[in-house]
């Protein structure tokens, strides 16, 4: 994830033209996973800091140490920061890089799912539990067995099943797990182990969760993303293939899998008939934002859908100092999503 040349951008103008403002501006936040629990909006974001790490394509400059939960009474109201909900120092298996989390609610308990690098420099996914949606969360002593890579998103289906989607390329290490074990060769390369451009792209992963939401109930499987002809998206199709930031929502009985294309900076989606896919590519949800990364969630609040996303406009383009935002998301009469331009330029 390289630093960008952004000298030419007028950030005051851009902030004026942005379609929405940061939900909080006293801290930097990113990767907003939003949920509507008990009539209130809760957002589980990354908490961006400048940890002093050099920029690289492995994302070492994303050196986050803790999570804060942000709540909103309604979609127009101010975001309220509930303080530190979980710190890396309290997670026995984790060493650094508390990246994009998500949360779920079941039987009066709240579950925070989060990726972090272990002491062996390998990303895994952990879970922490609380009686309150805003924490503090108590982490499990070990990461979820069989977990790897980053960006967990946990979807509750209407039959009460919960599924975790996850995975991320480059610094997210998904490409190192192609044989089922971690390939530690060429440790500094973000792109070694990727498929060739004319090969099938690496797909995100899905695993059904156990009833207590603490472990995988099955081996993670590929989530197949296909084009309009039914062919898997190719690795070289980087304007459409999966990179990171998996999310799942269900609308009118259809499953919508959305994700970031990473190095082409789009949020895209596909539609399917099962939580496992396949998902047929349908288009873009969000055009590129200021900053290298794009990461979102889609949440229904009363009768409207909203896109929670982030950009780096508040920090004037510092790619690892981002701010969470929200805008209404519209499904048209055919169930397709109207793409959003984040700035009215």
Active site residues: 31, 244
In the complex with ligand FUB, the residue whose CB is nearer, 163 or 247, is: 247
Question: Cα(60)–Cα(50) distance, rounded to whole angstroms?
Answer: 11
CB of 64 to ligand FUB, least distance (A): 7
CA 52, chain centre distance (Å): 23
Which pair of structure tokens corresponds to residue 200? Answer: 């099938």
String marking each residue 86-125 x if it binds ligand FUB according to CB under 6 A: -------------xx-------------------------
CB of 314 to ligand FUB, least distance (A): 15
In the complex with ligand FUB, the residue whose CB is nearer, 124 or 280, is: 124
Question: 253-256 contacts: CB < 8 A, separation 24 or more?
Answer: 254/335, 255/279, 256/298, 256/337
Size of the site for ligand FUB (CB under 6 A): 13
Do 56 and 62 contact (CB within 8 A), yes or no? no
Q: What is the dihedral of CA 208, 169, 279, 166, to 10 degrees?
A: 20
String marking each residue 172-211 x if it binds ligand FUB according to CB under 6 A: ----------------------------------------
In the complex with ligand FUB, the residue whose CB is nearer, 241 or 295, is: 295
What does DSSP assign to residue 216?
B
CB of 179 to ligand FUB, least distance (A): 23
3-state DSSP call for residue 30? strand
CA 27, chain centre distance (Å): 19
In the complex with ligand FUB, the residue whose CB is nearer, 240 or 322, is: 322
Do 276 and 223 contact (CB within 8 A), yes or no? yes
Do 6 and 332 contact (CB within 8 A), yes or no? no
Restricting to residues 226-255, which ones interact with ligand FUB according to CB under 6 A? Answer: 244-245
> Is 30 one of the binding residues for ligand FUB (CB under 6 A)?
yes
Interface with ligand FUB (CB under 6 A), residue from 151, 175, 308, 325: 151
Question: Cα(147)–Cα(150) distance, rounded to whole angstroms?
Answer: 9
Restricting to residues 48-77, which ones interact with ligand FUB according to CB under 6 A? Answer: 62
Interface with ligand FUB (CB under 6 A), residue from 293, 297, 312, 323: 293
Question: Cα(175)–Cα(213) distance, rounded to whole angstroms?
Answer: 26
Cα angle vertex 136, ends 131, 142, to 5°? 90
In the complex with ligand FUB, the residue whose CB is nearer, 40 or 60, is: 60
Given the rule CB under 6 A, which residues bind ligand FUB?
30-31, 46, 62, 99-100, 150-151, 168, 244-245, 293, 295
């Amino acid at each position: 994830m390289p630093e960008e040349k952004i000298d030419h951008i007028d950030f005051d103008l851009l902030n004026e033209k942005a379609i929405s403002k940061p939900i909080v501006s006293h801290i930097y936040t990113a990767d907003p996973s939003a949920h509507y629990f008990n009539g209130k909006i809760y957002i589980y974001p990354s908490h961006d800091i400048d940890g002093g790490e050099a920029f690289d394509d492995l994302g070492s400059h994303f050196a986050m140490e803790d999570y804060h939960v942000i709540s909103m009474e309604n979609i127009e109201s101010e975001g309220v920061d509930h303080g530190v909900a979980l710190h890396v120092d309290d997670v026995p298996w984790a060493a650094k890089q508390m990246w994009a989390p998500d949360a779920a609610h079941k039987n009066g308990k709240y579950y925070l799912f989060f990726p972090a690098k272990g002491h062996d420099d390998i990303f895994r996914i952990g879970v922490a539990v609380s009686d309150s949606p805003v924490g503090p969360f108590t982490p499990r002593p070990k990461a979820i067995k069989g977990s790897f890579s980053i960006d967990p998103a946990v979807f509750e289906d209407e039959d009460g099943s919960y599924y975790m989607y996850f995975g991320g390329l480059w610094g997210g290490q998904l490409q190192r797990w192609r044989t089922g074990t971690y390939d530690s060769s060429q440790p500094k390369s973000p792109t070694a182990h990727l498929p060739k451009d004319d090969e099938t792209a690496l797909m995100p992963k899905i695993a059904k969760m156990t009833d207590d939401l603490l472990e995988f109930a099955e081996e993670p499987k590929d989530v197949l993303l296909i084009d309009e002809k039914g062919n898997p998206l190719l690795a070289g199709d980087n304007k459409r293939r999966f990179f990171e930031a998996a999310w799942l929502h269900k609308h009118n009985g259809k499953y919508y899998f959305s994700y970031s294309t990473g190095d082409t900076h789009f949020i895209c989606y596909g539609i399917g008939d099962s939580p496992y896919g396949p998902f047929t590519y349908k288009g873009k949800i969000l055009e590129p934002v200021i900053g290298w990364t794009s990461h979102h969630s889609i949440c229904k609040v009363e009768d409207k859908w909203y896109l929670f996303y982030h950009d780096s406009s508040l920090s004037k383009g510092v790619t690892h100092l981002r701010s969470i935002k929200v805008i209404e998301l519209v499904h048209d009469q055919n169930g397709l999503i109207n793409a959003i331009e984040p700035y009215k330029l």
